[in-house]
Amino acid sequence: MIHPQTQALLDLIEQRKLPPMHTLTAVEARRFYRDRRALTQPPAPAVHEIRELAADGPAGPIPLRLYKPAPRDPGLREPMPVLVYFHGGGWTIGDLDTHDVLCRQLANASHCAVVSVDYRMGPEHRFPAAVHDCMAATRWVRAHADTLGLDAGRLAVGGDSAGGNLAAVVAILARDEGDLPIAWQLLIYPATDMRAGHASHTSNGQGYLLTNETIRYYHDHYIGDVAHDADWRASPLLHTRLGGLPPALVLTAGFDPLRDEGLDYADALVAAGSQANYVCFERQIHGFITMGAVIDEANAAVALCAAELARALAR
């Protein structure tokens, strides 16, 4: 069954008659998403150091936010491992602020630095603009690791939903280009197949916050030509060679339309010889990991991700 706390949230959204995302313009949806986080996100924990940065991007500066937790051993001045994080939001909404709490939580709990990336989004900047920005930002972080006190040899990528899609794509591009070693990937309910044909799109497509209509809305803001659905940079599950990729944690939710394509991606990684651990929070919905103020399992999921990040990037 769906978790009672999650059902209570869905009931509250229904009672307040909050508008579905697909009924809003992109500008309205972005504002609504930023405002709605106050309903579900816990207070932002303090972090030892936060810096606003900008990476050189293909269309201009890419805003970044660096989170550095207190070092495990203050007496050692060694560089920190780092997670480059891409926020969710259907390649249409979301920004550094909507995922600020999550990035703070991951940094503090893992003792790893986190760099959040504010990539370009649709409909103003369609596919593959976000891919280009995320790749450029990851390269920039590695190139500037020394000056930022980061360990370029312990660099991971991660993200949730659309951000999980982008993290998977960056990991594949980095492998293929051969000069950007990535140690690990964190894929939180990732979108991996733009064709939206998996069974969970039918079983979970209504009633659980992320609906079929909203998925189509995001898709159409990001993908300008339906032929791009078959491009692996949009649908990483369709890549014909998924071996030789960094180890992954793939996390899904049981009542998420994207559940099955996340599972299939984890299975495809393992079948190709890559390492992937898969965890499904069976009683949860898409987007739950940022909802720790009202869903206890969100905090458990953050703790799991942070623990696996710390383990993966340990010396």
Query: Could you write out the DSSP letters of every residue in 63-90?
Result: EEEEEEPPPSSTT--PPEEEEEEE--ST
203 is catalytic: no
Q: Is the per-residue pLDDT at 274 higher than 90?
A: yes
Q: What is the pTM of this model?
A: 0.98
pLDDT in tens, 159-205: 999 999 999 999 999 999 999 999 999 999 999 999 999 999 999 99
Torsion of CA 99, 44, 80, 181, to 10 degrees: -10
Q: What is the mean pLDDT of residues 107-115?
A: 98
pLDDT of residue 267: 98
pLDDT of residue 315: 83
| Domains, the chain, with CATH or none | 4-312 (3.40.50.1820)
Tokens of 217: 């809305």
Residue given tokens 């051969």 in the structure block = 178
DSSP state of 41: P
In terms of Cα–Cα distance, which of 178, 78, 84, 59 is closest to 140? 84
198 is catalytic: no
3-class DSSP state for residue 260? Answer: helix
The residue annotated as part of the active site, out of 200, 256, 260, 274, is 256
Q: Is the per-residue pLDDT at 88 higher than 80?
A: yes
Q: What is the mean pLDDT of residues 50-64?
A: 98
DSSP state of 58: B
274 is catalytic: no
Confidence class for position 73, pLDDT limits 50, 70, 90: confident
The residue annotated as part of the active site, out of 87, 118, 160, 161, is 161
Q: Is the per-residue pLDDT at 71 higher than 90?
A: no
Lowest mean pLDDT among 69-83, 124-138, 211-225: 69-83
Tokens of 237: 């599950």
Q: Average pLDDT, whole number, for the chain?
A: 97
In terms of Cα–Cα distance, which of 37, 13, 23, 14 is closest to 217? 23
In terms of Cα–Cα distance, which of 206, 213, 290 is closest to 256? 206
pLDDT of residue 164: 99
CA 123 to chain CA centroid, nearest Å: 19
Long-range contacts of 135-139 (CB under 8 A, 24+ apart): 135/170, 135/173, 135/174, 136/55, 136/56, 136/57, 136/58, 136/62, 137/55, 137/57, 137/62, 137/64, 137/84, 138/84, 138/170, 138/174, 138/180, 138/182, 139/180
pLDDT of residue 268: 98
